[in-house]
Structure 1
C-alpha cells in the first residue's frame, strides 16, 4: 500500500480518562488478556476494563485487588497458567489470576541499590527478564528464584546505577536485546544467557553528543529487522543468524521528522504499516519508512489533543489502543465513517450553530451559521471567516459553479470570497430581493425551484432566460399552503412542497397539484412539520418533526409510521437520505439513525461515535457524491456512508459476578469467569448476577437477554442492563441461560450457569419425612384416642343401659304386678299408691340419666346443683338440715366421672337419710389448682363401726364406683359419732 507523503487523516478517538472511571492518567502500557478484558498500567496502578467499568488495583485497594506498588511499568500475560504478571516500579512482582481478577501472589525483587526502580519486563521461556534503574535481573518462574546475569563489558568500570535498562526486545530467534541507557544494546542468548553481541552507544548515532540515548520501545518490522524508538529518533538494525549487524540511525527519509526527536512508541499494524508516536504526532508509515500520513484528531474547542501525547500503542485484532498522558484512547481507525468539524486550533475559529452547508466545486466546504459564513479548507482544515453578521439559511451552487447565498436579508452571490447582491447580476430578482430562501432543486439545465422561508410559497427561476415565477395559494397551479420547509423532486418529475400542516405535490408539467393530509388514525391529530423526504425501495419516506418517519406508497397512501418504538433515536427528525436504495440515513434532534428497510432495524450513532454533537438542525444536511454533510450545534460531521459497516462480531459473553446476600448481613461474591455451578446457602435473601458483554466497538449499546430454563421457555430481554436479581426461588437446581448482542443485533452464543439453592432446615427432605412421620403418629394417636373415647362412650351407654334395665326393668315389673293387683282388688287404694311411687321414681331416674348425657353439665358446679335438687326435697321432708357447697365449680369433669360421682353421692345421701337418723347432712366439693377433685359427705347420725366389719351393699357399691373412675374412697365413722365419706381423685 503506497501512502501519500505528509497526508493528514482526521479521525475520532474514543477516550477514557478519570471522568470515565480510570483511576489515573499517564498510561504506561495496555494489554488485552485472552478472555478479552483490557488491562491498563498507569502511574497510579493497574486497571481492568470491560468497556463500561474500571476495576482499580493499587496499594490502597481491597486485599484481593491490592498490588505492591503504585507506578506499574509493565504487564505480561501467562496464558498457560491464566496469570497476569504485573511489574510495579518498586519491591515486588505481583501475580493476578485472570479468571477471577484477584491478586494471588507477590514475588520479592532484590534491588541493586536503594533507589533501584523496576522499569520494564519481557518473558522468554521460563525466564522473566526485568530491567531496572541499575541493570538487568532474570527470574526463573519455575523455581521463583533470581539467577546470575552475565556482566556486560566495562560494567566494572562504571559506578553503580549507570546502566539503566528501560527496554528489552525479543527478536524472531527468541534472543533478547537489552537496551542500556548510556551504554547501548546487548544481545543475549535466550537459552544460555550468554552475550552474543554488544552495540555500543557510539554506533547508534549520538546526535546530541551527551552519551545518553534512552530506549523507549521496539518493534520487529521484518524477519531480521529491529526498530527502536529512542530519545534521539528511530534506530533501525538488521541482522543475520550470526548477528552481523547493519545499523541505520536515520531510517526515515524526511529530515527532521523523527531523526532527531524523541520517539515514544511503535506498533506494527499489519505487514505493510507501522504506527509511530513522536515529535508530538502520531504517524502511520509504510514498512519501508518511506511514505507516511499524520493522524489528526477531530476536536471541540475545549478538547486537548490526546493523539499528540501517545506513550504506548497496543494492537489486538482490529483495535488499536493508545496510552496517552490523559488516559487511554481507542482509534476508530481510518475507516471510521465520521469526521467532525467544529474548532480550528490554529486560528481559534469555531462553527457555532451551523444552519446550512454546501460543498464547493473546489471541495472546500462553505458553512452558513446563525451569525456568519465560514469556509473550511479541505486540505488543511483551516477555517476562513467570510461574514460574521448574518444568518445564512441556505447555500447552493449551480452547474456553472456559481455559489448562491440565501441570507435573512435576501439572496447573494459569492465570487472569489466576495459577497455580492443577487440583483446586481440577475435584475429579474428585484421583485423578490427580500425573500429568504431555505431550499432548492434543479428542475432542468437552467431552471431551479426555491422554497421561501417567510410564507411566500415557492419561486421558479430560469437564470438563463432571466425570469422568476411565484407559485403560492393564489396561483395556478396553487399550493395548499404558503409555508415551505423544504422541496423535493421525485423520480417521476413531481415537485413535493413540504409545509407545516400539509404537503403539495405538483405534477411534472406544473398543470395540477395534489394535496396530502397525513394522519396516524382518526383518534390522533394530523401529522405535521414536514422537513425532508426521499425515495427508496419503491416508497416515499417523509421526515415529520416530532412524529418520526412516514412511509408513503406510490399511490400516495400512508403505509406505516416509524418512531421510537421501532428503534429510531429520536422522533424530532430533520433530514432523511436514501442509502443504496436499501437504507435510510436520518438526522434528528438527538443522534443519527441508519434504518435498514428490508430488515426493519435501526442502528443509532451519537457524539461518542464521532459526531460533532447529538443535535442536528433543520435543512442543514446535504449529500455530495458518496458523502453526507450534516450540521447543527457545534459544527458539522462529514459522513462517508460507504464506511457505515455492520458489526457482525458478537460480544464475548461472561457471567462476571455472582453476589449472594445472606440473612446474616454477609455477602458471598464469586468473580470466577469460568464458573458453571454456584451453590447458594439456605439463608440467602437475594442473588445478583452481573454480565460482561465485551464489545469495545460500542460497549454502551450491548444488550442482554436471559431465561431460567426451569421456569421460562421464552427469552427475557434485559435491555442494556447487565444485571439480574433473583429473589424468592424455592430450593432446587436452576439453569440460567444468558447471551449478549452488539449494537447491530448479533448475539453471542448463550452460556449457562447452574444455581443450586440449598433448602432451609424446614425445607430439607429429612424434615419433611419427619413431619410426615409425626403426622402419621399424631393421626394414629388421635385414632387410638377416638377409639378409646368411643369405647368409653360405649361403656357409659352400656352402664346406663344396665342401670335402665336394672332400675326401670324392676320398676316396670313391679308396676305390672301392682297394676294386676289393683285390677283384681279395685277397693285397695294402696296398690295405686305404690304405682304412683314407682312411676315417680322412674321419672327421677330418667331425668338423672338425661342430665348425665347433657354435655353442658360436665362441671363441678352442675354436679353440685344436681345434688341439691335431689337432696333438698328429701331433707326438708325429713326435717334434716342439708347443705351442699363447691369451690372452683367451673372445673370440667368427664361424663364417666359425672355419672359415677353423682351416683356415689346419691347412694351416700340416701344411706344418711334412711339409716343414720341424722339431723344434719353436709356435702362439700373441692377442686384445687391442679384440677384434683375431692368430695366430703358428712352427717351427724348414729354412725357405725368400721374395724374389720364387712360393708353392706350400698357402701361396697360406693367403693366400686370410686375405683372405676380412679378415685380413692374412705369411710370415717364410729357409733354415735356420725359418718364421713371422703372421695378423692388419685
Structure 2
C-alpha cells in the first residue's frame, strides 16, 4: 500500500507520455527488402571498421551502409540463430548462437568454439568484458572465461558454473551483474565476492530474469520474464508492470545511450525511452517497424537502432519529426507554418484549413472548412491573420471573420503577411500589395504588368526597405516614401518565390526554375544544380541560429554553409527522413526554439539542427575488392604487396567509405602513384586502370562525409613485374652475351685485319723482292745488251731493246707505287706526302723547283684508308706532274687543313698558269675530278695566265 502514490504518479507520467507522442519520429528502416538476411533482429554491433553486424534468427548480416553481406552455416557460422555479439580489442568478432556455440570471426573467416573445446554449453546468450580485460561468456550452463583458444571455467565461482545465464552487465565500479533464468541476479563483485538479488533478498516478483543493466547513475534495472521491471536504487525498489503503465510485462533488453537515456525493448509494446523519471513510448504509430523489439544499439554517430521482428528501425533522437494526417492533420499538403504568441504551431493546409499543434496534440481551427491556406501571421496575441485562396481572414478568440477592402470587395489569393518595423501590416496578394489600416485592406500598388502584381513573398532589409518577390522580378517599397513602389532592374524578368536578407546584408533570392541568386556587396552570384543544388526551384529560404542557410525546393532541403568563400551544399531528402522531397511554397519557418519547419505534400517536418548527427565522424574508408581482368584477387594482410606478372596489368579497385548515417552522400578521392598526378574526385566506388606499365605502385583512396570532412587514406601497394626481357638477370645475361659476342667479333676482326696486314706486307715484300727485282734485272740486262751490241747493229733492234728497258723502268715505278700503297705501315697522310716527295725528288732537283709541304709532322696521326690514299695520291701526283712539266714554276706549296670530320688539301705553284675557260684535250683534270667525286669530295682549280695555279681538294676524313 505504501507504493500506491508512487504507482499513481508513474501511471500519470506514462499516460502523459503516450499523449505527447502523437508524431512520427522514425522514418528509416532496414528490412529484408534492402538485403537483410532475416527480419527478426536479435543483436547488433558496429565494428571498428564501421560495418554494422546484425544477428537474426536466420543468419548474420554485415552492412556497410550500401550493401548487405550475409553469412549462414555454410559460410562457417555455427548456427543460423545468432543471439549476441561482441568485438574484442584486436578486432576479432564473437557471435553467440543458439545451439551452435561461439562463432569467432577473424580475418575474413569463422572458427567455432563449442563444448568439445570446453565451452559449458553450445547456447551462448551474452558476452561481456570484465575490468581485468577477460572475455566473459554466458551460456545455458554458466559462465566461462575465453582467452584465445583457451576456455577457463575453473576461475569462475561455483555458483556461476551451472545456471542458465540470460544477461550480463558490468557496473561502473567493475561489478558483474549476471541475470539467470531461475536464480535471480548473481553479482560477481570486483573483489571476487558474490551477492544476490532475488525474491528472497529483494522481494523481486520473479527469479526468472530476462535482462539486467547496471546504469551509469548507480540504478540497477531488472527485467523479469512476464513480470515487468524492477528498478533498484540503493535500498529503494520501484516496480513497473502493465498494471501501472507499461504497455506489456515482457521486457527483452535494456540499453543506455551516450546521453544517459535508457531504452526498454519490449515484446509487443514497442520501445520505452526513460529519461529523468520520464517515459516516452515509441511504437508502430510513431514509425517503429514492429512492436516486438529484441535489441537496441547506438552507432558511433548517435543513431539508435531498434532491432524488431520486421528488421531495423533507425531513430535519430529529436532530429526530425513528421506531422501528417496519420497523427491528426486534416490534410497532408502543408502550405503555411507559423508559431503563435505562445508555444502553439499553426499549420495551413491545401484543402484542410488551419491545424493547431499544441502540447503535441493536433486540432483544427474551426470556421475555415476546406479552404486553401497560403500564409499565416500571428502578429498580436489572440489574433491570427490567415491568407487564403479567397482573401484574408482574421481569427480571434471570439470569431473568425473575413477582411474586406473599403469597397466591401473580397481579395483574391493572399500569399504573404508581414509586420514592418514601423508596425505597419502589409499583405502580398495575387492582385498587388495592400496595407491594413484598422483591419481594412488598402491597395498600395498594382502594376500594369499583371505578372508583376502577383506577389508571393515579403522581406524587410536592414534599412527598412521592403522587397517583394513577384512572378516577374522584384519590387522595392521604400520606407522613406511609403507610397512609392519601384521595380528593381535586378532579376527583372525572373519569377521570385522567396527572399531573405541576413545580418551582413547578403540577400538571397529563390527563383522558380533558375536557382538561387545571391546579392553580396553589389555582386550577384548564382547557385544552381550545376553547383550542387538538388533543384533549381527555391520555395523558401530560412537561416538557423548558426548562420546556415536552408532552401526548401522541389527536391528536398538544401543546407548552405560558407567555407573559405565557397558555398558547401548538403541535402535533406527522403533518405534522411523527409516524408516527401516536394516542399510547398511559403511553408518555411523557424520557431522560438530555433527548430526549423517545412511544409511538404506529405505533411509538416520539424527539424532540430542541434540534433544533427556529428560532422566530425568521417567515413571509414576501405579498399574491399581488387579485380585483375574478371578475376577477383585476395587482398593482402598487414600491408603486404601484391605481385602481378607483366601481362596482368588490367586492374579494377572497389572501395567504400562507410558512413552509416548518410551512405549515399559519401564522396571519394583516389590516386595511383605514377599514373594520377593529383587526387581524382568521384562519387563512384570503383576505378579501373588498363595497360599499366611494369613498376611499383601505391593506390590510395579517401572518403568525405556530407559535410565535406575527409578521412585518412587507405592504401594498397602492388608490383607489376617487368617481362623477363626487362628483368635484371635477363639484362645481365644479355649484356654478357652481347659483350662476349662483341669481344669475339672484335677478336675475329682484329685477327682478320692482322691477317690482311700480314698479307699486304707479304705482297709488298714479294712485289718488291720478286717482281721488282725481276723488272730491275730486265732493265739492267736491256741496258747491257744495248752497250755490248756493235755500233752498226740494226737500228730497229736497238730501238726495241731501249723500249724494253724504258717499259721495264716504268713498270718498276708503277710497282713501287703499288708496293707503297699496300704497305700497312704507310697509312698516314704524312706518309702520302713523303711518298710524293720521294717520287718527284729527282725531277724537282732537275728543274730547280722547291717543294714545300707545310707542317707535315702534325699529319702523322691522320690515318687514311687504302682506297682513300690511292685516289688522293694519284690526284696529287697528277697535279704535281703538271706543275713540273708545264707551269715552269719555281715553287710548289702543299698545305693540309684537318678538322674532326674533314680535310682540305691545297697544292699551289707559282708557274705561268692557264686560262681555265679554254678547252683542254687531256684527261688529267677530268681524272682528278672523277677521283675526288669517288671520295665524295669536291675538286676545284683556280688559275690564270702568269698567275700560277691553285688546286683544292675537300673531302671527308676517313680512317
After TM superposition, is the score higher than 0.5? Answer: yes
Match of 1:629 in 2: 597
SS of aligned partner of 1:321:
strand
CA distance in structure 2 between the aligned counterparts of 1:385 and 1:826, rounded to whole angstroms: 164
2:260 is aligned with 1:294: no
Match of 2:660 in 1: 696
Match of 1:498 in 2: 469
Equivalent in 523, 539, 553 of residue 588 of structure 1: 553
Match of 1:314 in 2: 297
Paired residues of 1:84 and 1:95 also in contact (CA < 8 A)? yes
CA distance in structure 2 between the aligned counterparts of 1:202 and 1:238, rounded to whole angstroms: 12
CA distance in structure 1 between the aligned counterparts of 2:187 and 2:624, rounded to whole angstroms: 44
Paired residues of 2:83 and 2:97 also in contact (CA < 8 A)? yes
CA distance in structure 1 between the aligned counterparts of 2:188 and 2:514, rounded to whole angstroms: 71
Match of 2:445 in 1: 471
Paired residues of 1:429 and 1:468 also in contact (CA < 8 A)? no
Paired residues of 2:138 and 2:166 also in contact (CA < 8 A)? no
By how many angstroms is 1:67 displaced? Answer: 0.7
Paired residues of 2:127 and 2:136 also in contact (CA < 8 A)? yes
2:432 is aligned with 1:451: no
Once the two structures are superposed, what CA deviation does each residue of 1:909-958 show, in whole Å capped at 9, x if it has no partner? Answer: xxxxxxxxxxxxxxxxxxxxxxxxxxxxxxxxxxxxxxxxxxxxxxxxxx
CA distance in structure 2 between the aligned counterparts of 1:199 and 1:29, rounded to whole angstroms: 27
What TM-score do the two structures reach when normalised by structure 1?
Answer: 0.67
CA distance in structure 2 between the aligned counterparts of 1:678 and 1:24, rounded to whole angstroms: 38
Equivalent in 691, 694, 709 of residue 746 of structure 1: 709
After the TM superposition, which residues 655-694 of structure 1 pair with which residues of structure 2 at under 5 Å, given as runs?
655-657=622-624, 659=626, 661=628, 666-670=631-635, 672=637, 675-682=638-645, 684-694=648-658
After the TM superposition, which residues 388-787 of structure 1 pair with which residues of structure 2 at under 5 Å, given as runs?
390-399=371-380, 401-414=382-395, 420=401, 422=402, 425-426=403-404, 428=406, 430-431=408-409, 433=410, 435-443=412-420, 447-453=424-430, 456=431, 458-464=432-438, 466-474=440-448, 481-508=452-479, 509-510=481-482, 512-518=484-490, 528-536=494-502, 537-553=504-520, 557-580=522-545, 582-597=547-562, 599=564, 600=566, 601-625=568-592, 626-641=594-609, 643=610, 647-651=614-618, 653-657=620-624, 659=626, 661=628, 666-670=631-635, 672=637, 675-682=638-645, 684-708=648-672, 714=678, 716-750=679-713, 753-784=716-747
Structure 2 CA distance for partners of 1:793 and 1:342, relative to 1, 3 Å: farther
Match of 1:375 in 2: 355
Match of 2:826 in 1: none
SS of aligned partner of 1:430:
coil
Paired residues of 1:678 and 1:754 also in contact (CA < 8 A)? yes
Paired residues of 1:479 and 1:513 also in contact (CA < 8 A)? no
Structure 2 CA distance for partners of 1:527 and 1:606, relative to 1, 3 Å: farther
Structure 2 CA distance for partners of 1:229 and 1:798, relative to 1, 3 Å: same
Paired residues of 1:131 and 1:168 also in contact (CA < 8 A)? no
Once the two structures are superposed, what CA deviation does each residue of 1:63-106 show, in whole Å capped at 9, x if it has no partner? Answer: xxx21210101122332x54222122123321111xx3422444
Paired residues of 2:113 and 2:119 also in contact (CA < 8 A)? no
CA distance in structure 1 between the aligned counterparts of 2:201 and 2:177, rounded to whole angstroms: 21
CA distance in structure 1 between the aligned counterparts of 2:454 and 2:795, rounded to whole angstroms: 136
Equivalent in 335, 338, 343 of residue 355 of structure 1: 335
2:25 is aligned with 1:25: no
Match of 2:99 in 1: 90
CA distance in structure 2 between the aligned counterparts of 1:402 and 1:612, rounded to whole angstroms: 31
By how many angstroms is 1:669 displaced? Answer: 1.5
Once the two structures are superposed, what CA deviation does each residue of 1:287-340 show, in whole Å capped at 9, x if it has no partner? Answer: 6xx3333347886xxxx5237443212246544332222223443123x2x322
Match of 1:72 in 2: 82
CA distance in structure 1 between the aligned counterparts of 2:523 and 2:284, rounded to whole angstroms: 44
Structure 2 CA distance for partners of 1:717 and 1:261, relative to 1, 3 Å: same
Structure 2 CA distance for partners of 1:650 and 1:505, relative to 1, 3 Å: same
Structure 2 CA distance for partners of 1:360 and 1:676, relative to 1, 3 Å: same
Paired residues of 1:232 and 1:259 also in contact (CA < 8 A)? no
By how many angstroms is 1:635 displaced? Answer: 1.7
Paired residues of 2:376 and 2:417 also in contact (CA < 8 A)? no
CA distance in structure 2 between the aligned counterparts of 1:50 and 1:95, rounded to whole angstroms: 20
Paired residues of 2:101 and 2:124 also in contact (CA < 8 A)? no
SS of aligned partner of 1:491:
coil
Paired residues of 1:655 and 1:689 also in contact (CA < 8 A)? no
SS of aligned partner of 1:766:
helix
Structure 2 CA distance for partners of 1:810 and 1:214, relative to 1, 3 Å: farther
Paired residues of 1:267 and 1:274 also in contact (CA < 8 A)? yes
SS of aligned partner of 2:408:
helix
Structure 2 CA distance for partners of 1:15 and 1:350, relative to 1, 3 Å: farther
CA distance in structure 2 between the aligned counterparts of 1:414 and 1:277, rounded to whole angstroms: 45
SS of aligned partner of 1:130:
strand
After the TM superposition, which residues 95-174 of structure 1 pair with which residues of structure 2 at under 5 Å, given as runs?
95-97=104-106, 100-108=107-115, 118-122=124-128, 128-132=136-140, 135-136=141-142, 138=144, 141=147, 144-145=150-151, 147=153, 165-170=165-170, 172=173, 174=175
Paired residues of 1:91 and 1:110 also in contact (CA < 8 A)? no
Paired residues of 2:335 and 2:350 also in contact (CA < 8 A)? yes
Structure 2 CA distance for partners of 1:603 and 1:219, relative to 1, 3 Å: same
Superposition RMSD in Å: 5.0
Once the two structures are superposed, what CA deviation does each residue of 1:603-640 show, in whole Å capped at 9, x if it has no partner? Answer: 33222223332222332323443343221221221234
Once the two structures are superposed, what CA deviation does each residue of 1:190-233 show, in whole Å capped at 9, x if it has no partner? Answer: 89999754735997655xxxxx8753322113676532123334
Uncovered stretches (5+) of structure 2, i.e. residues with no partner? 1-9, 787-792, 812-959
CA distance in structure 2 between the aligned counterparts of 1:404 and 1:465, rounded to whole angstroms: 10
By how many angstroms is 1:680 displaced? Answer: 2.1
Paired residues of 1:682 and 1:758 also in contact (CA < 8 A)? yes
CA distance in structure 1 between the aligned counterparts of 2:520 and 2:248, rounded to whole angstroms: 66
CA distance in structure 2 between the aligned counterparts of 1:235 and 1:355, rounded to whole angstroms: 45
Structure 2 CA distance for partners of 1:412 and 1:769, relative to 1, 3 Å: same
By how many angstroms is 1:573 displaced? Answer: 2.0
By how many angstroms is 1:43 displaced? Answer: 1.4
Match of 2:326 in 1: 344
Paired residues of 2:649 and 2:720 also in contact (CA < 8 A)? no
By how many angstroms is 1:255 displaced? Answer: 5.1
Match of 1:899 in 2: none
SS of aligned partner of 2:443:
strand
After the TM superposition, which residues 202-221 of structure 1 pair with which residues of structure 2 at under 5 Å, given as runs?
206=205, 215-221=209-215
Match of 1:52 in 2: 66
Once the two structures are superposed, what CA deviation does each residue of 1:318-372 show, in whole Å capped at 9, x if it has no partner? Answer: 44332222223443123x2x32223415x6x674433333444565444444433
CA distance in structure 2 between the aligned counterparts of 1:501 and 1:807, rounded to whole angstroms: 121
Match of 1:907 in 2: none
324-333 or 744-753: bigger deviation: 744-753
CA distance in structure 2 between the aligned counterparts of 1:200 and 1:480, rounded to whole angstroms: 80
Paired residues of 2:270 and 2:290 also in contact (CA < 8 A)? yes
What TM-score do the two structures reach when normalised by structure 2?
Answer: 0.69
SS of aligned partner of 1:775:
helix
SS of aligned partner of 1:232:
coil
Say how many residue pairs are matched: 779
Once the two structures are superposed, what CA deviation does each residue of 1:823-846 show, in whole Å capped at 9, x if it has no partner? Answer: x989899989x99xx99xx9xxxx
Paired residues of 1:653 and 1:691 also in contact (CA < 8 A)? no
Once the two structures are superposed, what CA deviation does each residue of 1:627-680 show, in whole Å capped at 9, x if it has no partner? Answer: 432212212212344x27584424264534352527xx75431275xx333232
Uncovered stretches (5+) of structure 1, i.e. residues with no partner? 156-162, 207-211, 241-245, 520-525, 843-986
